[in-house]
Amino acid sequence: LTIGVSSVPEADLCYFDKEGNVHTVKVSELTRAKKVVLFAVPGAFTPTCSTQHVPGFVAKAEELRKAGVDVLACVSVNDAFVMRAWGEQMKVGENVLLLSDGLGKFTKAMGATVDLSDKPVGLGVRSRRYAMVVDDGVVKALNMEEGGAFTHSSAEDILKCLQKHKASNVECSAGQNVMVCLISHHIS
């Protein structure tokens, strides 16, 4: 991974508000003085993202808020128009902020790019699936998936990490370069 324990990478991300206005937000602005759960998906409208990952976070949004999460956001290497259409289809409403990383700059800074050009559906370079907790711009936990896996970046996994952190009053287990909170296995 290319990110350090102390900070989330800076980049501009785009989104549409409920009135249909497009906005650009810096990651530092999004995370300043807030606890943010930011999860990434390889692509809008793709099967696992649409049937499991995003619906799981929508379903657990209230629990995450009760656990102290101020902002729940999903980022993907898609344009803002695609993210808006996907959000409408998925009926995410105010539960999850869908963020466009259209040029993949944030994804690259995260060290999370994956080249899916060999797939027949034409995905190209996208983001690996992950979920992280960022507290006031500081990465507290990061669950990064390998390949197309969906094994430890779900809303349930992040809730368990938040509960573990609160119960022990310590950081999630430390990885070499970033805080890592894997429920079933650890990265060293």
CATH of the domain at 52: 3.40.30.10
User: CA 158, 24, 46, 145: dihedral to nearest 10 degrees?
Assistant: -40
Q: Identify the pLDDT of residue 147.
A: 73
Query: Residue 178: inside a domain, yes or no?
Result: no
CA–CA gap between residue 132 and residue 79 (Å, rounded): 22
Task: Check if the beta carbon of residue 73 is closer than 8 Å to that of residue 149.
Answer: no
24 or 141: which carries more pLDDT confidence?
24
Query: Residue 176: inside a domain, yes or no?
Result: no
| Least confident range of 5-9, 36-40, 103-107 | 5-9
Phi (first) and psi of residue 37, to 5 degrees:
-100, 115
Give catalytic residue positions: 49
- Name the region of 33 (left: φ>0; alpha: ψ -120 to 50; beta: rest): left
Summarised one tens digit per residue, pLDDT across range 148-179 is 789 899 999 999 989 887 755 444 443 333 34
Task: Check if the beta carbon of residue 96 is closer than 8 Å to that of residue 58.
Answer: yes
- What's the pTM value of the predicted model, to 2 decimals? 0.84
Query: Residue 56: inside a domain, yes or no?
Result: yes
Query: Residue 138: inside a domain, yes or no?
Result: yes
Structurally, the chain folds into a number of domains equal to 1
